[in-house]
Amino acid sequence: MTSPRFSVIVPTRARLPQLRRCLAALAAQTMAREDFEVVIVNDGSPPLPQEELDGYRERLAIRSIRQAWGGPASARNTGIREAIGEFLAFTDDDCAPTPDWLATIDVALRRTPAALVGGHVQNALDDNVFSEASQLLIDFLYARFDSAATRGPRFFTSNNFSGATASFRTLGGFDTTFRLPAGEDRDLTDRWQAAGWPHLYARHAVVQHYHVMSFRSYTRQHLNYGRGAWTFHQARERRRAGVRQTEALGFYVGLLTFPLQRGRTRRPVLQVALLAWSQGVNALGYFLEKLRA
């Protein structure tokens, strides 16, 4: 195919049912088929059944690349190397972008081609309190840091962001010392901003996130976030950038009162408790990784 405007990169690992939903959503994009390709990076799981991919080829220009397990940062870097689009758009296999997702990102990038454009992620599992709590934390971070005082968001999550392929390659892609899904997106967006390139929040570029969670997986997620925070701080020290290792008291007060704001959740007290738990577990993960280093 001729070079499309976008390459959509989707890392996956042994989650075929989730990947089917993601591909169906990408096949329903309003952007013309010839304007984007989909690059699936199979991170160490068995080969995807060919008939699964063939079922989408009339609606998608789709490729599947298999690699030995290397973690999400490595899988996304494989996608960056293989992509032929002018711009890259990232989402995850447990996500379903809304039909105008790519078209909305395209509008933003035509306006600011040098930007890292981050969209809005919505929890698609309203009845799962742990999935809701995980997304509430991200919503709080976006709301807190999306301001003139911080020159735009400090980070975007890698299940919904996009930017110029050349810029991702100039930065060297994601840092593969982040082998867990925890902090590699924060690190990349930090390096993007340090390079002097803008961040742009495209609120209407929406991805639905079907992240099924239990108390155990929620706890593990935030333990890993703490471990990733340690790796991030070390990476910033190597760049001599420096970073505050603990947030001010106002940050935690804001986080714990966030679910109490009107319309945020139907279960505010429970969500306050889960967010408090996340921060305790996060701190534990941070210091465990520090001891391990």
Structure token pair of residue 56: 């989408």
- DSSP class of 174: S
- Give the model's pLDDT for residue 206: 98
What are the pLDDT digits (tens) for 21-72? 999 999 999 999 999 999 999 999 888 888 888 889 889 999 999 999 999 9
- Give the model's pLDDT for residue 148: 47
- Kindly state whether residue 264 falls inside one of the protein's structural domains: no
- Give the model's pLDDT for residue 74: 94
- Kindly state whether residue 282 falls inside one of the protein's structural domains: no
For the beta carbon of residue 176, count every other beta carbon within 10 angstroms.
16
β-strand partners of 209: 95, 123
Residue 152 pLDDT grade (very low, low, confident, very high; cuts 50, 70, 90):
low
- Kindly state whether residue 206 falls inside one of the protein's structural domains: yes
Range of the domain at 177: 6-212
- Kindly state whether residue 115 falls inside one of the protein's structural domains: yes
What CATH number is given to the structural domain containing 139?
3.90.550.10
- Kindly state whether residue 97 falls inside one of the protein's structural domains: yes
Element (H, E) at 56: none
Number of structural domains found in the chain: 1
- Between CA 64 and CA 73 the distance in angstroms is 17
- Kindly state whether residue 253 falls inside one of the protein's structural domains: no
Q: How far is C-alpha 254 from the chain's CA centre? A: 23
- Kindly state whether residue 11 falls inside one of the protein's structural domains: yes
- Give the model's pLDDT for residue 147: 57
Q: Are 220 and 279 in contact (CB under 8 A)?
A: no
Which of 16-20, 37-41, 180-184, 284-288 shows the lowest mean pLDDT across its residues?
180-184
Q: β-pairing, 199-209 with 116-123?
A: parallel
What are the pLDDT digits (tens) for 106-150? 999 999 999 999 999 999 999 999 999 999 999 999 888 775 455
- Kindly state whether residue 140 falls inside one of the protein's structural domains: yes
